[in-house]
Amino acid sequence: MNVSRENTDALDNYKLPATFSLDNLKTLQLGTELTTSPCRRHLAHHVKRYPLDLRAQVQRILISNEPEYLAGALQDLFIALKDSGIKLRRMVYEHVSDKLSEPQQDYFNNWLVQGFEQGYDDRFIPGSVLATGLTQKAQPLLTQEARSQSAYISHYQEAIDCLEYGQIEVAQELLEQEMLNPDGDPRAEDELLRVYSYSKDYESQEHLRQMLQEQGRELGPGWDLSKLDTK
């Protein structure tokens, strides 16, 4: 009896996790094989930790085909850049604007024209991982006192306080954001290397090192993991 069997490729039966498929992938428009829920979740998590990784921001927006998540991903790019990167924000917005509802188009158009302070009105759009507001403009309570501005002038200053209170993970993320800012406090580098040495989070150190090198930044010998005992 003849039995017809279809040949299968073992590679078709094994898919790498999203983190391996997407890390260091420089193309902005990802293929259909990467337009999946795990990849979207990975990029969302990455953007939450590294908001200034603009490559990941754009990748995430371009694979957010669902309208309910696309606007939130676009909002994260606007939040991360604030009033910087106007050309990038406008270019990405114009590329996906036809997939947004009319109220969403009005929202982002207004943001582009009026800037961060007037454009970001505290609202949370589903799909965003950086917005901390509500689904609509926050209304002040009658009994609420005016909130004083933060005393921190940089992520570095806030990270130092976090370290004093033993909040190592929070301090690490703040220092990473300060390092990604080309105009950030130069003291953040030594402080972050000390945190990495303490936490032994060499995976995050290597990831950040690659991102900084892509920015053309010159790094000291403390970033060379080959000289560290990672066992």
Q: At what angle do helices 67-81 and 37-49 cross, to 10 degrees?
A: 20
The answer, yes or no, to whether residue 66 has pLDDT greater than 80, is no
Nearest to 207, CA basis, from 227, 226, 223: 223
Cα Rg of the chain (Å, integer): 21
Domain ranges of the chain: 17-119, 155-216
* Predicted local confidence at residue 210, as pLDDT: 87
The answer, yes or no, to whether residue 9 has pLDDT greater than 90, is no
Identify which of 48-52, 103-107, 154-158 has the greatest average pLDDT: 103-107
pTM: 0.57
Dihedral, CA atoms, 224, 227, 229, 231, nearest 10 degrees?
A: 70
The answer, yes or no, to whether residue 156 has pLDDT greater than 50, is yes
